[in-house]
């Protein structure tokens, strides 16, 4: 081959003068261009100046303002692009005062680096549901107005079985367990419980209560994102050479923590003995799910750019990772995806709960359809969700049968992490609308983009929770948005379908009924759901079980398997369009907080109670 290597003498390279020009150019860029490329921090809009955006007709109406909720999640971004700014924060529906009306808890992050002379960091907020669609900020009177650090997520659960929902807040270098005293106050019992996660590099994102050993007390799993501190933050740039948030891959993954509830107000770290210390991850989404219905709560974790984990509960206090074998660890082509949030639900009404994992933009939201064999099929594209979700970076996600036709639909909260993303990826935006998918009943979903209503307003959504806050039998949606007002969406679907809601109350098993499996039969169809306390992203939805029933006007039978294996079956018809409370070992009682329902008294006596 003829060599064409250029002789150095014939290739006058930039000499000293050019070198100086380069230095000057670099200095000029450093002095001007680089500074300009870092966006100035987005000022946190004072809550008082928040104005509602113009309403968009559709299924969901933004009622935040008229409900009296004035809250804005601040991630404290200052233009430094600290990694942790991309992950706050969650939200929750909980009934803290047991009046039957779901209240609202909102996670706040605030300033990441607190320096002297700075105003105090804002704290999370609790809004009491007063009924009539109105909420009151009770953060102060509930004694929740203290510095909770740079909070990330929330988990709700009655850890001491006193009947009142307790709150667990996750955060950077510290978590908080807040015990509900039943009188409207929350006591900080973190230290006593031993779940403070105060060690270095404890970047806790999502957490969830669940009773993995079936001893009647809720245990707690806490995910950690990466080994990260402000001091170890790295500087990264996007495709347009603008400073941006780094890929999680530049930080070391970490293991989750599993705390066993000792039943005396204290917890023991059992991560090692449970076998959860073997696989590191970048955990963002977590949920308890009895995927194989063996009566033991298994654990599913969505990891960012690492395989998702499904921990099968072996029943002896240990877990075995079966994510790959079960088909829920990777994307359809074996790629690791950027898992964020998790939705769980039986969307095919085949009696098994499937999993949906939200991912980064450019990746589809994964749909893992459950089968009776305990294996999952990847239905990402076949379900119709995959291709629609590609441009969106999604975090919070939940199933909800918004039109009560008996087929679980899906809502997804989107929003990119890079404020400058549109410059490098013109078809991707920082603020994004939510996605609503209607389940067509044949294993497929269609996007409801023209009927989103106010959900179409682009936001940077992180936490998302679902609940029927006004007990009208239509599931509403709560979304916590970065540097913008929280959104409470009222479901205004015009359908005339029927429904039923169930509130479980464990006696021998945990008070919340977590891990209990419920089957109802109505109109010749069988519906299934598991009672769980946390999913989505860093959030907790209304723990009552909601079943849309289509045109069916009565429930023929109700069957429940409590976590200890006890089964109860009620074969007398239940009236539809109302809520019931079901205490373990007792009869379904009409929930007085629902206006329309009354249990059919003649049928009540016929109820067959089988233990």
Partner 1 sequence: MSMLRLLKNRRIQSLLLALGVVVASFWWWRTRPSPALQSYNQGKSLELVKMTGEALDAYKEAIRLDARFAPPYRAMAELATANGETAASIGWWKAFLERDPKAEHALCRLAQAEALNGLEKPAMKDAERELIQDPTCSRAHLALGILYARKSEATPAIEHLSVASKAYPDDPQIQLVYGKVLTLSGNYAQAEPTLKHIIEKDKRHAAPYLWLGYLFARRSTLPEDQKQAETFLRQALRLQPELPDANYELGRLLLLQQRAKEAAPLLQKAVLRKRHNVAALYSLAQAYTTLGQKESALQTQKAFRRESDFAARERVLLKSYVVNPNDIEIQLQLGLLELERGEPQAALIFLRSASLASPKDARISTALQKAEQLMKQQDPAPSKTP
CA dihedral (373, 308, 222, 375) in degrees, to 10, reads 0
Q: Is 336 in the site for partner 1 (CB under 8 A)?
A: yes
> What is the smallest separation between the CB atom of 127 and partner 1, expressed in angstroms?
41
Q: How far apart are CA 544 and CA 541, in angstroms?
A: 9
Long-range contacts of 373-378 (CB under 8 A, 24+ apart): 374/291, 374/292, 374/326, 375/325, 375/326, 375/327, 376/326, 376/327, 376/328, 377/327, 378/327, 378/331, 378/332
> What is the smallest separation between the CB atom of 359 and partner 1, expressed in angstroms?
15
Please, which residues have CB within 8 angstroms of residue 334's CB and are 6 or more apart in sequence?
none
> What is the smallest separation between the CB atom of 425 and partner 1, expressed in angstroms?
6
Candidates 382, 507, 523, 583; binder of partner 1 (CB under 8 A) is 382
Report which secondary-structure segment, H or E, holds 476: strand 476-481
Tokens of 416: 């990119």
Q: Quick one: 421 or 597, whose CB is closer to partner 1? A: 421
Q: Quick one: 17 or 49, whose CB is closer to partner 1? A: 17
Burial class (CB in 10 A: 0-12, 13-18, 19+), 196: middle
Q: Is 187 in the site for partner 1 (CB under 8 A)?
A: no
Q: For partner 1, which stretch binds (CB under 8 A), given 218-226, 266-274, 381-389, 452-460?
A: 381-389
**Alpha helix (H) residue ranges in 88-236:** 190-193
> What is the smallest separation between the CB atom of 377 and partner 1, expressed in angstroms?
9
Q: Is 524 in the site for partner 1 (CB under 8 A)?
A: no
Residue 603: count other Cβ atoms within 10 Å of its Cβ. 15
Candidates 250, 278, 294, 586; binder of partner 1 (CB under 8 A) is 250
Residue 536's region, left for phi above 0, alpha for psi from -120 to 50, else beta, is left
> What is the smallest separation between the CB atom of 488 and partner 1, expressed in angstroms?
34
> What is the smallest separation between the CB atom of 11 and partner 1, expressed in angstroms?
5
Q: Is 239 in the site for partner 1 (CB under 8 A)?
A: yes
Q: Quick one: 89 or 419, whose CB is closer to partner 1? A: 419
Q: For partner 1, which stretch binds (CB under 8 A), given 111-119, 257-265, 328-336, 462-470?
A: 328-336
> What is the smallest separation between the CB atom of 13 and partner 1, expressed in angstroms?
9
User: Site map for partner 1, 418-457, x if CB under 8 A?
Assistant: ------xxxx----------------x-------------
Q: Which of residues 9-28 bind partner 1 (CB under 8 A)?
A: 10-12
Q: Is 34 in the site for partner 1 (CB under 8 A)?
A: no
Q: Quick one: 378 or 414, whose CB is closer to partner 1? A: 378
Q: Can you list the positions of beta strands (E) in 181-297?
A: 186-188, 204-210, 219-224, 236-237, 243-244, 257-261, 267-269, 283-289
- Could you give the angle at the alpha carbon of 32 between the alpha carbons of 27 and 38, nearest 5°? 120
> What is the smallest separation between the CB atom of 418 and partner 1, expressed in angstroms?
13
Distance of alpha carbon 99 from its chain centroid, rounded?
24
Q: How far apart are CA 328 and CA 323, in angstroms?
A: 5
Binding residues for partner 1 (CB under 8 A): 1-6, 10-12, 239, 247, 249-250, 305-307, 324-325, 327, 330, 332-336, 362, 375, 378, 381-382, 384, 387, 390, 424-427, 444
């Amino acid at each position: 081959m003829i060599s064409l290597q250029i002789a150095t003498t014939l290739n006058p390279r930039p000499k000293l003068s050019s070198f100086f020009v380069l230095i000057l150019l670099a200095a000029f860029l450093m002095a001007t261009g680089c500074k300009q490329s870092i966006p100035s921090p987005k000022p946190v809009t004072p809550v008082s100046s928040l104005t509602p955006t113009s309403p968009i007709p559709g299924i969901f109406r933004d009622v935040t303002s008229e409900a009296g909720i004035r809250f804005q999640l601040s991630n404290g971004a200052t233009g430094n692009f600290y990694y942790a700014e991309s992950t706050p924060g969650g939200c929750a529906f909980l009934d803290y005062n047991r009046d039957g009306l779901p209240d609202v808890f909102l996670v706040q992050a605030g300033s990441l680096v607190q320096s002297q002379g700075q105003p105090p960091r804002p704290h999370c907020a609790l809004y009491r549901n007063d009924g009539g669609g109105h909420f009151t900020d009770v953060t102060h009177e509930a004694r929740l107005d203290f510095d909770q650090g740079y909070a990330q997520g929330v988990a709700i659960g009655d850890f001491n079985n006193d009947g009142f929902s307790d709150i667990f807040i996750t955060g950077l270098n510290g978590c908080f367990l807040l015990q509900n005293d039943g009188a409207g106050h929350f006591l900080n019992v973190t230290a006593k419980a031993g779940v403070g996660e105060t060690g270095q590099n404890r970047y806790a994102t999502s957490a969830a209560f669940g009773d993995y050993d079936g001893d009647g007390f809720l245990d707690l799993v806490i995910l950690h994102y990466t080994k990260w501190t402000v001091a170890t933050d790295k500087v990264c740039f996007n495709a347009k050479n603008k400073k941006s948030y780094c890929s999680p891959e530049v930080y070391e993954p970490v293991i989750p923590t599993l705390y066993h509830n000792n039943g005396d107000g204290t917890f023991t770290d059992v991560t090692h003995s449970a076998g959860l210390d073997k696989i590191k991850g970048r955990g963002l989404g977590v949920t308890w799910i009895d995927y194989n219905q063996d009566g033991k709560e298994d654990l599913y974790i969505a990891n960012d750019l690492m395989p998702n984990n499904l921990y099968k509960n072996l029943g002896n206090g240990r877990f075995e990772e079966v994510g790959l074998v079960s088909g829920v660890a990777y994307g359809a082509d074996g790629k690791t995806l950027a898992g964020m949030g998790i939705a769980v639900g039986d969307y095919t009404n085949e009696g098994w709960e499937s999993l949906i994992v939200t991912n980064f933009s450019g990746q589809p939201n994964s749909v893992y359809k459950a089968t009776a064999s305990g294996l999952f099929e990847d239905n990402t594209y076949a379900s119709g969700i995959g291709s629609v979700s590609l441009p969106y970076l999604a975090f919070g996600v939940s199933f909800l049968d918004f039109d009560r036709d008996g087929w679980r639909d899906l809502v997804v909260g989107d929003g990119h992490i890079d404020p400058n993303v549109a410059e490098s990826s013109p078809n991707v935006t920082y603020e994004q609308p939510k996605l609503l998918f209607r389940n067509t009943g044949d294993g497929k979903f269609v996007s409801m983009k023209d009927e989103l209503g106010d959900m179409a307003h682009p936001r940077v959504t992180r936490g998302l929770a679902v609940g029927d806050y006004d007990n009208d039998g239509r599931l509403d949606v709560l979304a916590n948005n970065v540097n913008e007002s929280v959104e409470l969406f009222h479901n205004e679907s015009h359908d005339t379908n029927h429904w039923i809601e169930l509130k479980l109350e464990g006696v021998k098993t945990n008070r919340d009924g977590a891990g209990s499996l419920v089957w109802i039969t109505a109109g010749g169809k069988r519906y299934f759901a598991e009672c769980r306390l946390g999913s989505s992203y860093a959030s907790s939805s209304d723990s009552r079980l909601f079943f849309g029933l289509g045109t069916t006007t009565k429930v023929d039978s109700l069957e429940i398997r409590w976590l200890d294996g006890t089964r109860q079956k009620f074969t007398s018809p239940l009236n539809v369009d109302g809520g019931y409370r079901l205490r373990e070992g007792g009869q379904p009682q009409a929930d007085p907080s629902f206006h329309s329902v009354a249990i059919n008294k003649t049928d009540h006596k016929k109820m067959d109670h089988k233990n």
